[in-house]
Chain A
């Protein structure tokens, strides 16, 4: 089955700086790679996703890149703000999603 590894497990950044989270996956059949943000006590919220026929996607301050050959994908958050503080999860799959263990992001004011 699919195995998704996510790094780092914690990330502390100064407000205004960039944050980068990296994930690797094992199953070459995976063709869908979403990222979710989960605040304490709340549901995971989809923030951006990318499909295997695209290498990069951007939505305002958030961007995701995918390297299918190397089986890794990354989330980039620019100009971080305190409200970006949360746990971020990457996932890989198709119908079925396998999730990484999460990255706790803290944005220091």
Chain B
């Protein structure tokens, strides 16, 4: 049973360029969330995709966009890269669990893509 996978592992870009990161969810999962983790900090939620639609979005500019494919894999695109976009980008997959008061997602993380912007 394959876990969450991400590609590439590392990436170096220059300011102003565009980047695409990829994620394949754990088998049986249909939801993909993306997080940005700066050095020494906790992950920050970017957005979540479910049924090929963006379900929730965090406090990130629209330079950050995404897509989910019919096979549940997902891409994160970042345009007009800034130095401050340098971080570890984590993908997490989940399948909703419904409990009293609403649904929650148990999220499992991929290994991440280390993006360096020069």
Tell me, rounded to whole Å, the shortest Cβ–Cβ distance linking A27 to chain B.
Answer: 12
CB pair B111 A1 closer than 8 Å: no
Contact assessment for B43 and A46 in the assembled complex, using a CB-CB cutoff below 8 Å: no
Decide if A97 touches B107 in the complex (CB within 8 Å): yes
From known contacts A42-B111, A45-B109, infer whether A99 and B104 are also in contact, taking CB-CB under 8 Å. Answer: no
- Interface membership of chain A positions 74-109, coded 1 if the CB is closer than 8 angstroms to chain B and 0 otherwise: 000000000000000101011111111110000000
The smallest beta-carbon distance between B55 and chain A, in angstroms, is 6
Given A1-B59, A52-B101, A53-B101, decide whether A101 and B42 contact each other with a Cβ distance below 8 A.
yes
The answer to whether B71 has its CB under 8 Å from any CB of chain A is no
Asked if residues A46 and B41 are in contact (CB atoms below 8 Å), the reply is no
Chain A: which residue is nearest B101 at the CB level?
A31
Count residues on chain B whose CB falls below 8 Å from chain A CBs.
Answer: 29
- State whether B104 touches A46 (Cβ < 8 A): no
Encode contact with B along A41-54: 1 for CB under 8 Å, 0 otherwise: 01111100101110
Q: Flag if A43 contacts B110 (CB, 8 Å).
A: yes
What's the least CB distance linking B12 to chain A, in Å? Answer: 17
How far does the Cβ of B67 sit from chain A's closest Cβ, in whole Å? 18
- Docked Cα-Cα span, A22 to B56, in Å, equals 27
Interface string of B90-116 (1 = CB under 8 A from A): 100000110111111111111110000
